[in-house]
Structure formats: structure tokens, C-alpha cells
């Protein structure tokens, strides 16, 4: 970075503390960074590391119990730590804007979109009628189709991606010199995320606004930012140009983070994921030495007692580590496997299906309309196999899980067969053994574990009901299960609220395994977790599968995770299976046009440039699906394929295009292959 220019934002030795129960707990330690005009600076780290606090501090917008205890925040050469409230308000009004994580709550639900945006212009001195005009222009700028209609809508009538565009339009309305984006795409689907990120990139090019971009997603950071800072426990541990950091990570934490992501090509059959041992420190823990020492495999006595300073690695690439030269070659951190792998004993492609579902459909009634959320879904699942279910929100992934488990009953004609035996449609008509044979790990362990019961009770009750054990025996078995999930014995009697996210999910997994299941449905089991915890949970699931030959149905929107853990994959769109095949086939192509678009929208961490295949428009409502192929209005391969009329009039069947690879597309696979090369 050239130093001749005054940076837009500079944090110098910033220290922030939160007062919790009367004690000041330090959350940011000696954070120094600077963002040049027009630059995008990414702040990355796991939950609780202080990313959002840094963002709020930069805007002088800390919660009431937060305070700046040291250092300075310099905005365009002026220290804003001690300026008055009115000056801060003026700054936020005209110079700094923020885009929040959840667009649904960032917009006022009672004010029409147009008026909300116009308010920002009015604040900056525009007249009422001008403000409305400017608002409409700003919607055009964020590429909203039909801005006039959107202006008259309310927040709840917009999709997530649209709402986030509106929030961005509002943030840009004041022509800010600094835009703070706090996880702006975290709640969005991959294809929508890609579009929003494209938009932000374009706007940045046009306006030259400096951006402070906060994300836990390394792929997004890599694709969006010029420079990156890695935060751990409130301290900046590494900083430098994005390409440099990803190419040559020099702090053990950064190295660990990059290693534990299930990235391109890794598969459970050959690779075990790295984890970062231990847990992040509690809020406000005091340190003598390095903040990361307790979890670092390179740490020695010096790291425990002496605070490392930033060491220059290469130009402006700095790392706060005594052993930065050894970081990239540090030993891999893989958990011990406690039992012999049986992977080679069994064959994945067993002809006898353990589970087979055929012609499963589900119609929900919504405001008097019949909505077909699942449309004629059929597939088989083998012994010890993992089937990945992939699709954007609303594609019906979770509904399929509920249909299988009997929590929701399918329409007439849908059959679920387990091990050759037809299952009753509803849960209360199934045998105990059938119920125990198919269990689920829910997405959100906070909701899935009863917060009023102890961990042991949650598990032992399931053992008692599903295995018919006596109360005492089931408690013993519960302890065994929990220990098997590596939940420490000292935690067996606590309530879920006292556990970390990863431990809660381990308890939820233990509960799913309480009835000795043949099939476990994993519904986004790691999407609420940090990447290092995610890696440990995925390893655990793979171990359990190898040990008991359990089959998994793995639902996730994270394609890297699905690719790592799945043997076969079903891609869903609007309640239909559009592509089905082995993990290899689905990820290496030839692709179904939808899968192609989905895959191309994922920001990857290896930095390879892929051409993005955009999906235009929005996901149509399942209550009024398009005629012909349901993908046709958005299909990236329809135009020019020569099959346009067919696509628009007739729904394609799921046909086998290659051995073991099925697609629902009119365009012959040979043509697709050609287009995709």
C-alpha cells in the first residue's frame, strides 16, 4: 500500500472491552490496520473473535456495555474516538455506511421500500420528490429489475437477495467513503450470494468506496478483498495482501483455518480433515504470551510467556508469531482414529438397497393454494452409503427428510421401503425398531436439545425408548455413547446451554445414534458451526459410518462439505431431483445446467478463476411452477441449445445419461459436455 495517500480508515492499537457483570472483559487487543481509499479489506476469523466488534468500533457504534479502552480510530486523518455524538451521527450519515448480515431485520417492516431509501437521501438534503427519484435510480444501480414495483413493496415481500440489494442501495445512498459490510451474504443461497458479491465488486469499481468486509467464509474473502486481516481472540494475528496470505499463510492459526476446510477434491475415502485442537478462549481471557499458544502445535515456552510482535514476512505481509517461518510446514493436526477402518471391507455400490423411496410427493396447503413442494422423488440408499442432498433454500431438502422420518406423511402413492419392508406413512404407526432405525441430526442443536434436560437424560431417554433398556442401563449406555462422541465425562450431567456449539452437535449426534440406527439423516449438521469445529464433526461422522456401516442422508448447502462426505449426490430444484449420480460424476461433469450454475457460484479458496454461469431471475414459487422444464426461465444453457420449445412445453424425465448418472434435461448430454468445455 502506498503511504502517500491518507488512509480512509486507520485503527491504531485499538483496544475494546465489554463490561459483563461489572467486570471489563477485553475483546479487541492492540488491533492496528488501515484501509486505503478504494481498497477492500477483509477481516476473517471464527465466531467470537471480535470481527463484528471491530466493525462496530470503526463506526463508533458499540453496544452500551462496550467501550474503547485504548488506541485510536482515525477516519480520513481525524481521530474519531473522542468526538461528540452529533459529529458521530454526521459521520454515519454522510461518510460511513454499514450493511448488516440479516437484510430481513435491517429493513423496517412497516415502511415501503421506496420511502425507506428516500429517507436517506432526504437526510442528506434532497427534497421529498427528488429523494423518491434518487431512490428509484439507486435501485437501478443495484440491478433490481422493475424498481418501480419494488419501491411500493414492504420488506417481507422481497426475497433475501433482493432485500440485501435494497440494504446496499440504502448504504450507498449517502455516497459513503467507507462501507462496512458485516457478513453481507451469510444468510443467502450460493447463487444469490454470488450475484450480490458480483454487484458489490462492480459498485466498488464504479464508486471507489473503501470497504471493510467481514466474513467467516475464507472463499468469499479471497474473492472480494485486496488485503486480509486474520483475527483470533481479539488480536490481529496475520495481515497482508490476499493472494499472499492464501499462498503463503504464516501464522499457525491461518494455516489451520485453511487446512480444515473441505476443499476441492478431498473425499472422506482418502482424506481426513485437519482440525484445530482445543477451543477458542472465553471472552476477556488474559494473556501473558501468544493468544493462540494453547492450541498451537508449534508453541514452545517462549510462546506461553512472551507476547509476539508482528514479524514482517514479505513486504507488508506480517504475522504475529515467533515461528512464522515454520507455520506453513507445521505438522498436520489430525485426530486419532480409534478403530480400524472398515472402508475396504464393504462395497459402496451394493445392489441391495437399504432404503428405497419411490414417487414421493408432498402438497402443502398455503393460504388456500395447493403447493407441491416435493414432486415425484425416487432414489435408493445403499448400506453404509452417504447420499448428499443439494439445492438452494426452498428446494425441498428438509421436507424430504421429514417425509422419510415420518414426521410428515407423503401423498398417495409415495412409498418408503427400509431393508425390504414398507414403512407406515406416519411416525406413530411405525414400529419402535423402524423408528430407531432412521434418526436425524438437526441443523440447530440449540433447538434440537431440550434446554431443560441434562445431556445424559436427553440421550438415556432415547436409549430407553428405542432400545427398551431399563432406566439404569440406558444411563450407562448414554455415558458410553457420549464418551464415544468425545464428550468429556465431566459434561455429561450439565444442560445443553453450558456446552459450546460443537459439543452440542456431538450430543445431538449421540442422540441420533442412541437407537442403533441404520440410517441417519444429517440436516445441515455443520452450518451453524465454525470451520474448525465443522471439520471435527465431519471426521466424527465419517468415523461413525466406518464403525457401524451406518448410511447417511446428508443435507447441506455447502457444496465443499457435501462433496467431501457423499458417495452419491442428488441435486434438487423446486422439489424435483434434477441430477443424480456419484459424487465424482456430479462434481466433475458433464453437469446439469442447474448444477453447473450452482457449482460456479461457490467462491473457492484455492483462487482458481472459474467462469460464473449465472442463473437469471428468482426461484419461481412452487405454487405456480413454470410450464415445461421448471428450470427453463432461468436455465443458462437453454438459449441457443436448439431445444427451446421443448424446454418450455414439456417437463423432461430423469434419464440415465451415463452409467449411474441421471439428469432431468432435454439437452443431450453430449451437447452439454461440449458447451461446458
Partner 1 sequence: MKDSTNSDAKKVVLAERLAVLKKNKAFVVGASILGFWIFCSIFSKFMVRFDQDAMDFESINSPPSLKYWFGTDSTGRDVYSRVIIGARIIMVISFVATALGAFVGASLGLIAGYLKGKFDMVLMRILEAISAIPVIIIALLAVAAIGRSSTVITVLIIGFIFTPNVARTVRAAVLGESELEYVAAAKLRTEKTAHILFREILPNVLPTLIVEFTVRLGYAIFAVATLSFLGVGLEAGSPDWGTQVADTWDKIFTNIWWPTLFPAIAIASVAVSINLISDALLEVFEL
Whether the upstream peptide bond of residue 285 has omega within 30° of 0, thus cis, is no
* Region binding partner 1 by CB under 8 A among candidate stretches 276-284, 382-390, 460-468, 651-659: 460-468
The rounded Cα 276 to chain-centroid distance in angstroms is 19
Q: Give the SS3 label for residue 652.
A: coil
Euclidean distance between CA atoms 135 and 116, whole angstroms: 9
Choose, by CB under 8 A, the member of 91, 203, 449, 629 that binds partner 1.
Answer: 449
* Region binding partner 1 by CB under 8 A among candidate stretches 83-91, 280-288, 510-518, 581-589: 510-518
Task: Give min distance, CB of 368 to partner 1, in A.
Answer: 16
Q: Under the criterion CB under 8 A, does residue 232 sit at the interface with partner 1?
A: no
Asked if residues 512 and 506 have their Cβ atoms less than 8 Å apart, the reply is no
Helix axis angle for 531-548 and 252-259, nearest 10°, is: 40
Euclidean distance between CA atoms 68 and 26, whole angstroms: 10
Euclidean distance between CA atoms 430 and 408, whole angstroms: 13
Euclidean distance between CA atoms 313 and 322, whole angstroms: 11
* In 25-64, alpha helices (H): 51-58
Residues 6+ apart with CB under 8 A from 78: none
* Region binding partner 1 by CB under 8 A among candidate stretches 73-81, 117-125, 456-464, 664-672: 456-464
Task: Give min distance, CB of 567 to partner 1, in A.
Answer: 25
Task: Give min distance, CB of 634 to partner 1, in A.
Answer: 32
Asked if residues 239 and 317 have their Cβ atoms less than 8 Å apart, the reply is yes
Q: Under the criterion CB under 8 A, does residue 448 sit at the interface with partner 1?
A: yes
Residue with smaller CB distance to partner 1, 312 or 493: 493
Task: Give min distance, CB of 441 to partner 1, in A.
Answer: 10
Residues 414-433 that bind partner 1 (CB under 8 A): 427-428, 432
Choose, by CB under 8 A, the member of 64, 156, 286, 452 that binds partner 1.
Answer: 452
Residues 6+ apart with CB under 8 A from 69: 15, 16, 17, 24, 26
Asked if residues 303 and 322 have their Cβ atoms less than 8 Å apart, the reply is yes
Residue with smaller CB distance to partner 1, 3 or 428: 428
Choose, by CB under 8 A, the member of 295, 362, 372, 511 that binds partner 1.
Answer: 511
Residues 279-338 that bind partner 1 (CB under 8 A): none
* Region binding partner 1 by CB under 8 A among candidate stretches 168-176, 253-261, 359-367, 450-458: 450-458
Euclidean distance between CA atoms 111 and 433, whole angstroms: 53
Residues 6+ apart with CB under 8 A from 188: 160, 161, 164, 196
Number of residues that bind partner 1 (CB under 8 A): 32
* Region binding partner 1 by CB under 8 A among candidate stretches 58-66, 164-172, 194-202, 439-447: 439-447
Euclidean distance between CA atoms 294 and 567, whole angstroms: 36
Residue with smaller CB distance to partner 1, 12 or 453: 453
Q: What is the 3-state secondary structure (H, E, C) of 102-164?
A: CHHHHCCCCCCHHHHHHHHHHHCCCCHHHHHHHHHHHHHHCCCCCHHHHHCCCHHHCCHHHHH
* Region binding partner 1 by CB under 8 A among candidate stretches 54-62, 328-336, 369-377, 509-517: 509-517
Residue with smaller CB distance to partner 1, 511 or 585: 511
Q: Under the criterion CB under 8 A, does residue 454 sit at the interface with partner 1?
A: yes
Rounded to the nearest 5 percent, the helix, strand and coil shares of the chain are 35, 20, 40
Element of type H or E holding 172: helix 160-172
Choose, by CB under 8 A, the member of 80, 170, 377, 440 that binds partner 1.
Answer: 440
Residue with smaller CB distance to partner 1, 105 or 312: 105
Tell me the per-residue interface mask from 391 to 410 with partner 1, x by CB under 8 A, - otherwise: --------------x-x---
Q: Under the criterion CB under 8 A, does residue 355 sit at the interface with partner 1?
A: no
Measured at the CA of 177, the angle between CA 172 and CA 182, to 5 degrees, comes to: 65
343: buried, middle or exposed (CB in 10 Å: 19+, 13-18, 0-12)?
Answer: middle
Choose, by CB under 8 A, the member of 380, 444, 500, 527 that binds partner 1.
Answer: 444
Q: Under the criterion CB under 8 A, does residue 171 sit at the interface with partner 1?
A: no
Q: Under the criterion CB under 8 A, does residue 88 sit at the interface with partner 1?
A: no
Task: Give min distance, CB of 100 to partner 1, in A.
Answer: 23
* Region binding partner 1 by CB under 8 A among candidate stretches 181-189, 206-214, 443-451, 575-583: 443-451
Q: Which three cell numbers stand for residue 116?
A: 425507506
Q: Under the criterion CB under 8 A, does residue 435 sit at the interface with partner 1?
A: yes
* In 524-576, alpha helices (H): 531-548, 559-565
Choose, by CB under 8 A, the member of 27, 158, 462, 569 that binds partner 1.
Answer: 462
Q: How far is CA 408 from CA 26, 127, 227, 399, 426, in A?
A: 48, 54, 48, 8, 7
Task: Give min distance, CB of 617 to partner 1, in A.
Answer: 31
* Region binding partner 1 by CB under 8 A among candidate stretches 38-46, 151-159, 352-360, 492-500: 492-500
Residue ranges binding partner 1 (CB under 8 A):
405, 407, 427-428, 432, 435-436, 439-440, 442, 444, 447-454, 456-457, 461-462, 465-466, 493-495, 498, 511, 514-515
Amino acid at each position: 500500500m502506498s503511504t502517500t495517500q491518507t488512509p480512509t480508515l486507520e485503527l491504531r492499537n485499538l483496544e475494546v472491552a465489554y463490561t459483563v457483570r461489572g467486570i471489563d472483559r477485553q475483546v479487541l487487543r492492540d488491533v492496528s490496520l488501515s484501509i486505503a481509499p478504494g481498497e477492500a479489506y477483509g477481516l476473517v476469523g471464527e465466531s467470537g473473535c471480535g470481527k463484528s466488534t471491530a466493525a462496530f468500533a470503526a463506526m463508533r457504534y458499540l453496544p452500551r456495555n462496550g467501550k474503547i479502552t485504548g488506541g485510536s480510530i482515525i477516519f480520513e486523518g481525524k481521530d474519531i474516538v473522542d468526538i461528540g455524538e452529533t459529529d458521530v451521527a454526521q459521520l454515519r450519515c454522510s461518510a460511513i455506511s454499514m450493511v448488516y448480515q440479516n437484510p430481513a431485520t435491517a429493513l423496517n417492516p412497516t415502511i415501503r421500500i421506496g420511502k425507506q431509501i428516500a429517507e436517506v437521501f432526504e437526510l442528506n438534503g434532497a427534497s421529498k420528490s427528488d429523494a423518491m427519484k434518487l431512490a428509484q435510480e439507486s435501485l437501478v444501480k443495484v440491478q433490481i429489475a422493475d424498481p418501480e414495483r419494488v419501491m411500493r413493496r414492504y420488506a417481507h415481500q422481497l426475497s433475501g437477495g433482493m432485500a440485501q440489494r435494497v440494504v446496499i442501495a440504502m448504504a450507498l445512498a449517502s455516497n459513503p467513503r467507507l462501507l462496512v459490510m458485516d457478513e453481507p451474504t451469510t444468510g443467502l443461497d450460493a447463487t444469490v450470494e454470488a450475484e450480490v458479491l458480483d454487484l458489490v465488486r462492480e459498485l466498488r469499481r464504479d464508486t471507489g468506496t473503501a470497504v471493510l468486509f467481514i466474513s467467516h467464509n475464507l472463499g468469499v474473502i479471497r474473492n472480494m478483498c485486496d488485503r486480509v486481516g486474520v483475527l483470533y481472540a481479539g488480536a490481529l494475528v496475520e495481515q497482508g495482501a490476499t493472494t499472499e496470505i492464501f499462498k503463503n499463510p504464516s501464522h499457525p492459526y491461518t494455516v489451520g483455518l485453511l487446512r480444515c476446510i473441505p476443499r476441492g477434491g478431498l473425499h472422506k475415502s482418502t482424506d481426513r480433515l485437519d482440525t484445530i485442537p482445543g477451543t477458542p478462549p472465553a471472552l476477556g481471557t488474559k494473556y501473558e504470551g501468544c493468544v493462540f499458544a494453547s492450541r498451537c502445535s508449534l508453541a514452545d515456552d517462549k510462546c506461553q510467556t512472551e507476547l509476539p510482535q508482528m514479524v514482517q514476512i514479505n513486504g507488508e505481509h506480517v504475522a504475529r508469531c515467533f515461528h512464522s517461518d515454520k507455520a506453513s510446514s507445521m505438522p498436520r493436526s489430525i485426530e486419532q482414529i480409534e478403530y480400524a477402518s472398515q472402508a475396504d471391507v464393504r462395497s459402496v455400490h451394493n445392489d441391495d438397497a437399504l432404503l428405497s423411496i419411490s414417487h414421493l410427493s408432498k402438497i402443502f396447503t398455503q393460504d388456500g393454494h395447493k403447493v407441491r413442494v416435493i414432486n415425484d422423488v425416487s432414489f435408493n440408499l445403499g448400506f453404509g452409503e452417504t447420499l448428499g442432498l443439494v439445492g438452494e433454500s426452498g428446494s425441498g431438502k428438509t421436507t424430504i427428510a421429514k417425509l422419510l422420518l415420518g414426521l410428515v406423511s407423503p401423498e398417495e402413492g409415495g412409498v418408503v421401503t427400509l431393508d425390504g419392508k414398507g414403512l407406515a406413512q406416519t411416525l406413530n404407526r411405525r414400529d419402535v425398531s423402524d423408528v430407531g432405525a432412521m434418526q436425524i441430526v438437526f441443523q440447530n442443536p440449540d433447538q434440537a436439545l431440550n434446554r431443560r434436560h441434562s445431556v445424559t437424560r436427553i440421550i438415556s431417554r432415547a436409549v430407553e425408548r428405542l432400545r427398551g433398556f431399563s432406566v439404569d442401563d440406558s444411563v450407562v449406555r448414554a455415558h458410553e455413547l457420549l464418551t464415544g462422541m468425545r464428550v468429556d465425562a465431566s459434561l455429561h450431567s450439565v444442560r445443553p446451554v453450558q456446552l459450546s456449539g460443537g459439543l452440542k452437535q456431538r450430543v445431538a449426534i449421540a442422540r441420533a445414534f442412541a437407537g442403533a440406527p441404520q440410517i441417519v439423516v444429517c440436516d445441515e449438521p455443520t452450518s451453524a458451526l465454525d470451520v474448525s469445529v465443522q471439520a471435527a464433526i465431519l471426521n466424527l461422522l465419517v468415523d461413525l459410518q466406518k464403525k457401524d456401516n451406518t448410511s447417511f442422508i446428508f443435507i447441506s448447502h455447502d457444496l465443499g462439505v457435501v462433496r467431501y462426505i457423499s458417495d452419491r449426490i442428488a441435486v434438487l430444484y423446486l422439489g424435483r431431483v434434477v441430477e443424480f449420480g456419484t459424487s465424482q460424476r456430479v462434481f466433475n461433469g458433464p453437469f446439469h445446467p442447474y448444477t453447473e450454475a450452482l457449482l460456479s457460484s461457490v467462491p473457492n479458496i484455492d483462487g482458481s478463476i472459474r467462469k460464473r454461469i449465472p442463473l437469471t431471475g428468482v426461484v419461481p414459487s412452487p405454487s405456480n411452477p413454470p410450464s415445461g422444464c421448471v428450470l427453463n426461465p432461468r436455465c443458462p444453457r437453454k438459449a441457443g441449445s436448439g431445444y427451446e420449445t421443448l424446454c418450455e412445453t414439456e417437463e423432461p424425465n430423469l434419464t440415465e445419461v451415463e452409467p449411474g448418472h441421471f439428469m432431468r434435461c432435454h439437452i443431450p448430454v453430449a451437447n452439454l459436455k461440449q458447451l461446458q468445455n
